[in-house]
Homo-oligomer: A and B are copies of this chain.
Amino acid sequence: MIDTSLKRNYTGENQAAALPEPSRRRLVRLMQILRQTKAERLTSAEIGGLVGCRDTLVRRDIGLAGFRGGVSNGYDTGALLSAVERALGAGDGAAIRRCCIVGLGRLGTALLDSSIFDGSGFAVVAGFDSSVNRTEILRSTFPLYPASRLEAAVAAERIEFAILSVPDREAQSVTERLSRCGIRGIVNFTAAAFAAPEGVRVENVSPVTALLTLAAGC
C-alpha cells in the first residue's frame, strides 16, 4: 500500500485545499474572467452571468476566498483578482508550474504551440512519445524525449503536471508511471477512464467525454 501521509508537503500559505470543490472550480473560472476583462469594476450579478451561477453564490465564493472589498457598485477587478489568485495559490509570486505532454499524436503536437499557455502560470517544459521518430522530427521550444526516459526527465525537470494524449489503451499504464515519479495532476485528453492513483488528481477533458456529458442532458 502507498503511504499517503507524506504526499503533501505544503510549500506555501496556499489555502485552496480548504475550499469546497465546486467553489474552487468557480473561482478558477472567475480568475480567468478577471485576467481577461477590461472592466474596472464588476458586480456579483455580472460575474454570475459569466460563471453560470447566481449572484449570491458568487459573493459566497468571494467570501470563501477571503476577500471583503465589495462596495455598492461591485468589486474592483484588480483587487479581486489578486485575492482570488492568492486563494488559489496562483498569485503573482507563485512559481511557474512545470508541465509535460505525454503522447505526441495529432492532439499532443497541437499543444506544442506554447502560446496557448502564455500568461497562464504554466509552462510546458517537455514532451514524450514512444516513437523516437516523432521526438526527433518534431520541432518545439522545449526538449522532446522518448517515452523510456519519462521517469528520468520528469524528476530532473521537476515536472508537476502532465497532459495525457496517448492512445486510450496506454492511458492507465502511463498514468501509473507518472504517478510513481510524483506527478500531482493529469489532464486526461483520452477517452479512457482509469483509476487515479493516490495523490494524483485527474481532469477529464477528452472531446468525446465532453460531448457525451453535454448530450446526456438533452
Interface size class of A (residues with CB under 8 A): 35 or more
Q: Which of A23-43 contact B (CB under 8 A)?
A: 24-25, 27-29, 31-33, 36
CB contacts (< 8 Å) of A207 on chain B: these are 111, 116-117, 163, 187, 189, 205
CB contacts (< 8 Å) of A31 on chain B: these are 212
Q: Is A211 an interface residue (CB 8 A)?
A: yes
Q: Is A125 an interface residue (CB 8 A)?
A: no
Contact B161 A211, beta carbon cutoff 8 Å: yes
Q: Is A202 an interface residue (CB 8 A)?
A: yes
Contact B213 A25, beta carbon cutoff 8 Å: yes
Output the least CB separation between A59 and chain B (Å).
18
Contact A110 B106, beta carbon cutoff 8 Å: yes
Q: Is A57 an interface residue (CB 8 A)?
A: no
- From known contacts A110-B110, A212-B88, A213-B24, infer whether A185 and B218 are also in contact, taking CB-CB under 8 Å: yes
A-B contact pairs, 7 of them (CB 8 A): A28-B209, A28-B216, A31-B212, A88-B212, A185-B218, A201-B218, A205-B207
Interface residues of A (CB under 8 A from B): 8, 14, 16-17, 19, 21, 24-25, 27-29, 31-33, 36, 49-52, 88-90, 97, 99, 106-107, 109-111, 113, 116-117, 120-122, 160-161, 163, 168, 184-187, 189, 191-196, 201-218
